[in-house]
Amino acid sequence: PPVELRQRKKPKSSENKESAKEEKISDIPIPERAPKHVLFQRFAKIFIGCLAAVTSGMMYALYLSAYHERKFWFSNRQELEREITFQGDSAIYYSYYKDMLKAPSFERGVYELTHNNKTVSLKTINAVQQMSLYPELIASVLYQATGSNEIIEPVYFYIGIVFGLQGIYVTALFVTSWLMSGTWLAGMLTVAWFIINRVDTTRIEYSIPLRENWALPYFACQIAALTGYLKSNLNTYGERFCYLLMSASTYTFMMMWEYSHYLLFLQAISLFLLDIFSVEQSDKVYEVYKIYIFSLFLGYLLQFENPALLVSPLLSLVAALMLAKCLQLNVKKGSFVAKIIKVINFYLVCTLTITLNIIMKNFTMNWLLCQESLQAPSQDFFLRLTQSSLLPFYILVLIICFLSMLQVIFRRINGKSLKETVTLEDGRIGERPEIIYHVIHTILLGSLAMVIEGLKYIWIPYVCMLAAFGVCSPELWMTLFKWLRLRTVHPILLALILSMAVPTIIGLSLWKEFFPRLMTELMELQEFYDPDTVELMTWIKRQAPVAAVFAGSPQLMGAIKLCTGWMVTSLPLYNDDDLLKRNEN
């Protein structure tokens, strides 16, 4: 049969696109799967690190429990003698936990706390809002819902939760240092420095119910999640997990402590500077800003429309930056100086004229400056940090990271592009966004801690984490060797050796010097003996008139409220202007 030639039909546009996509996909090189032994090494490293982190947290919680028992001899004390160990505002918090357990129902207990007229004379207060009593509400619910009232006494259940949170605190610091350095050895060194310097890292030994002891573990979890979220080489699933953990911990932190939004304000400034320096995609930073706004809005609703959140510097800063993005103020365009001037000017107009005025008008500064925690740190503070070798290594790490960060900024000013992935050979630790964030944040916290000693309990855990990360990070040593132009020894090999040898030597020296002291403290039996206060509380219970109202120091008023339930004239609280004036008078 004759062969017939026909004109070829043109394929449809959709078919062309599909074929083009297939060709493009075929052109993309498929990444080879890692060998089995490499996958096994990664899994073993992660497993050992997670096991070490959890074990460190559990051991620290058990250590706190044992030390508390040895110091106060809690198990052999009567209820009144136990309650006297809670001093000042700690006594107030625990007294409301007792009130919740005595209430006929949870709803009735919450109502009595929100319309409380049995604590301060001639004053009805919303104790849940003013004192952030959400930890006590949660603890009372857990105690009754789990049936623990048949197993354990209320005071042991309460302090057990706080000690458990401290274990989570240490675990979060461990993970943060591990994420930054890439080795769980940094986490071990972080925990060691934290425990050795516990006089300056926590007040858990003296004031268990303090709000910071409930809140800072969640803040540490938030920082760990933020550290992972800012990493450049994070996959999609890891990024989502970090974002969800950061959202939950930010909101919980804000609910647990009335001063939490000030710490988040410092964090927002650090992220703002990170965005200004253009070392990280602004999308991630603005996603964190959305978490702040959502947490503030939800906290405002659930904290009985707390006005402090609406006038907080955090909301003013984040709202101004979000508005600047929505209005497309070309913040990212122009010279480096123009960027800073535009944003700072916009922020000053929106915030400083409003928030600082309100804060200064409602603050009884003269009385607060008399408090020990609001004074400058003493020389003994720096001596203790130096003796434990923490301060020298922290200064070394901070200087190297800060200079490397400045180097990156000047490169950006000169128009040089940054590498998407920084390798060990580059020796540019300042190009990593999470490192720059932590450097800025620790400088802000440290500057405030030099003025207000009470902030050292927030700053020193940060110091432990950053110093441990630095000495265990090969990138930090490689950055230093790049500056020194080391030629005699291979710099990469020397950096890897030092990142293992230096923390090992530090750990052995800390073990030799401080471990016997810790064991001696656990073996030494102590006793909290205050017969005068016990006698006073006993007299009030037996002989004081029912309508009596007691006046005295704020610390004594907290003990009277807890041990006797009688009304007082003032409370050791700093967030109520009327109570501050009563204390000052």
Domain boundaries, the chain: 86-152+530-584, 233-523
Helix axes 211-230, 456-472, angle to 10 degrees: 30
Residues 6+ apart with CB under 8 A from 151: none
Both tokens assigned to 69 = 């028992």
Quote the tokens at residue 419: 């590498």
Q: Are 579 and 120 in contact (CB under 8 A)?
A: yes
Structure tokens at 160: 């057990």
Res 424: pLDDT: 66
Q: Which pLDDT score is estimated for 463?
A: 94
Residues belonging to the chain = 585
Structure tokens at 11: 């394929």
Predicted pLDDT of residue 542: 84
Contacts of 392 (CB under 8 A, 6+ apart): 386
Counting DSSP H helices and E strands in the chain, the numbers are: 28, 2
For residues 443, 347, 247, 93, the Cα torsion angle rounded to the nearest 10 degrees is 70
- H or E element that contains 162: helix 154-181
**Residue among 381, 426, 382, 377 nearest 404 (CA):** 426
pLDDT for the residue 137 = 93
The pLDDT assigned to 20 comes to 46
Per-residue model confidence as pLDDT tens for the chain (585 residues)? 454 545 445 445 444 545 544 444 444 444 455 677 677 777 888 888 899 999 999 999 999 999 888 888 777 778 888 888 887 788 889 999 999 999 988 999 999 999 888 888 778 888 888 888 999 999 999 999 888 888 888 999 999 999 999 999 999 999 999 999 988 899 999 999 999 999 999 988 888 888 899 999 999 999 999 999 998 888 888 899 999 999 999 999 999 998 899 999 999 999 988 887 765 567 888 899 999 999 999 999 888 888 888 888 888 888 888 877 776 555 455 555 555 555 555 555 455 435 544 444 444 444 444 455 567 778 888 999 999 999 999 999 999 999 998 988 888 777 666 666 666 666 778 888 899 999 999 999 999 999 888 889 999 999 999 999 999 998 998 888 888 877 667 778 888 888 899 999 999 999 999 998 888 888 877 767 778 888 888 888 888 887 788 877 777 888 888 888 888 887 766 666 666 666 655
pLDDT at residue number 585:
58
Listed in sequence order, the residues at least 6 apart from 233 whose beta carbon sits closer than 8 Å to its beta carbon are 421
Q: Which residues contact 378 (CB under 8 A, 6 or more apart)?
A: 453
Rounded distance between C-alpha atoms, residue 193 and residue 352, angstroms: 38
Which residue in the block uniquely carries the two structure tokens 């939004």? Answer: 261
Q: What distance in Å separates the CA atoms of residue 60 and residue 170, rounded to the nearest whole number? A: 8
Among 543, 399, 515, smallest CA distance to 467 is for 399
Please, are residues 253 and 219 in contact by the beta-carbon 8 Å criterion? yes
Q: How far is CA 230 from CA 7, 282, 434, 438, in A?
A: 58, 11, 5, 11
Give, to the nearest 10 degrees, the angle between helix 554-563 and helix 89-102. 20
C-alpha radius of gyration, the chain, whole number: 28
333 vs 348: CA distance, rounded Å: 20
Note whether 227 and 438 are within 8 A (CB).
Answer: yes
